[in-house]
Amino acid sequence: MGACPSAHGKDKVPTETVLKSSRAGSVSETAEPATLLRTSGSKINSSSVPTGDALPLTRAIAGRLAGKVAIITGGSKGIGKGIAIMFARQGARVIVNYRSDPAGADDTVRECEAIGGEGCAFKVHGDVGKKEACEALIEAAWSKWGKVHVLVNNAGMEIQGDFLDVTERDYDRVMDVNMKGAFFCTQAFARKCKDEGIRGTVVNISSVHEDLPFPGFTTYCASKGAMKMMTRNLSIELATSGIRVNNIAPGAIETPINSSVLKDPTKLKELLSKIPLTRLGKPEDISLCAVYLASDESTYVTGTTIVVDGGLTWYYIEHH
């Protein structure tokens, strides 16, 4: 694949807000969805639980995003990092947004450039939980390359806690990043696309917990359910401007947020017993789906959610 054009200009850097929980408990800020770890219910009947194999990257068709420019929020690790790298592999120029992990963002940019050539990716710092940071991110991307074709709303976070103990601060933080960020990034992106006649594409990264209950994560589930409904509504509202809006709902993905499960053989086996394909997903499973939704292969697809979970959702519904 040929190198991307050299980048010019400087990153715009909105003010960063550091997350601090107002209570004790488990706090996780991440760019991928939480994992369903309920231990009750039926299990897949097998004497052993194989992990299976994901689709090899070598089978991906190259160049599907050639000529496109894409923004990925929360691109410093996990699913967001995987999407950024896969987009570069498919010929896109990539803007990597991050909030609190500049080293991770640098690593994502380096991996993108190793595939697509020097200058095909750059990072923009900003907390998308703030409206002004969302607008600055979109403006920085347009200033860099003159146009943007794809927005991936991937940044997300979770704060675990019993419903009766959820504070307003924790509620606001989860909803601000997961829902408010996606809302105002999409608004700023859609305004630019409409003004410049670009048939843009929005890909939201939600979670199977937009539909499945997850006790202890009520705010997270509510934010992902809201993202699903926003996807549906905007697919109609923005269609007249030629802008498509779709959603991906990942299941249990092999990313840093699930490290505690990966390190515990008992928990891992329990989780895998509820996934018909008997393996965790990999970031590539999500990124290849995102490539499809961002590409011209899906020009008649809008307002839908693609569930990428190895069968977890329907198995869960069947046994609960």
- What are the pLDDT digits (tens) for 27-61? 444 445 555 543 334 454 444 444 445 444 444 45
pTM tops 0.85: no
Exposure of 55 in the CB half-sphere (CA atoms within 13 A): 13
Q: Any catalytic annotation for residue 220? A: yes
pLDDT of residue 255: 86
Q: Helix 181-196 to helix 218-237 angle, to the nearest 10 degrees?
A: 20
Q: Name the residue with tokens 């410093």.
A: 76
- Which stretches does DSSP call E strand in the chain? 27-30, 69-72, 93-98, 121-125, 150-153, 156-159, 201-205, 244-250, 305-308
Mean local confidence (pLDDT), 296-315? 96
Tell me the C-alpha to C-alpha distance, in Å, between residue 157 and each of 77, 193, 231: 13, 28, 19
Per-residue pLDDT for 96 more than 70?
yes
Per-residue pLDDT for 21 more than 90?
no
Nearest alpha-carbon partner for 132 in 173, 176, 166: 176
Amino acid at 285: D
| Catalytic-role residue among 98, 171, 220, 315 | 220
Long-range Cβ contacts of 186-191 (<8 Å, 24+ apart): 186/151, 186/153, 186/230, 186/234, 186/245, 187/134, 188/134, 188/135, 188/137, 188/138, 188/139, 189/71, 189/138, 189/148, 189/151, 190/234, 190/238, 190/241, 190/243
pLDDT of residue 61: 56
- Homologous superfamily of 27-32+63-318: NAD(P)-binding Rossmann-like Domain (3.40.50.720)
